[in-house]
Amino acid sequence: MSSQADDSGDAAPPAAAGTPRARLAAALREGPASAHELSRRLRISEKDVVHHLEHLARSARGRGERLVIEPAACLACGFVFRRRERTGKPGSCPSCRGTRIAAPRFALESRGGG
């Protein structure tokens, strides 16, 4: 007569272990992904992903890593948002005013040498 809550053997997948920020860092080490892709994978809001990315960018140096950002790009004219400092997706292109923007992609990489 055990509790039914104890009977579900696959209640928490391995990816659910740890804090959201630790799970995000682990996902970023696997390779580049957009905030939307990370949101779906980790089951947290895209807004939370962007917030955690900003913190990870600052804290990565202490762990010998760096947050690599592949910049967003306009799908209409090809403009690349190289100088953008915010981690969220831009709303429109400053060149053509188009709104079809490919989201930036993020990854955590180890720093070489040192």
We report the CATH number of the domain holding residue 82 as 1.10.10
pLDDT digits (tens, 9 = 90+) for 72-83: 999 999 999 998
pTM above 0.85, yes or no: no
- Kindly tell me if the per-residue pLDDT of 3 is higher than 70: no
pLDDT digits (tens, 9 = 90+) for 15-65: 456 899 999 999 999 999 999 999 999 999 999 999 999 899 888 888 899
How many domains are contained in the chain?
1
Residue 82 lies in a domain: yes
Residue 3 lies in a domain: no
Rounded mean pLDDT of 70-98?
Answer: 92
Tell which residue, 8, 25, 17, 18, has the closest CA to residue 106: 25
Residue 12 lies in a domain: no
- The count of C-alpha atoms lying within 13 angstroms of the C-alpha of 40, restricted to the half-sphere facing its C-beta, is 4
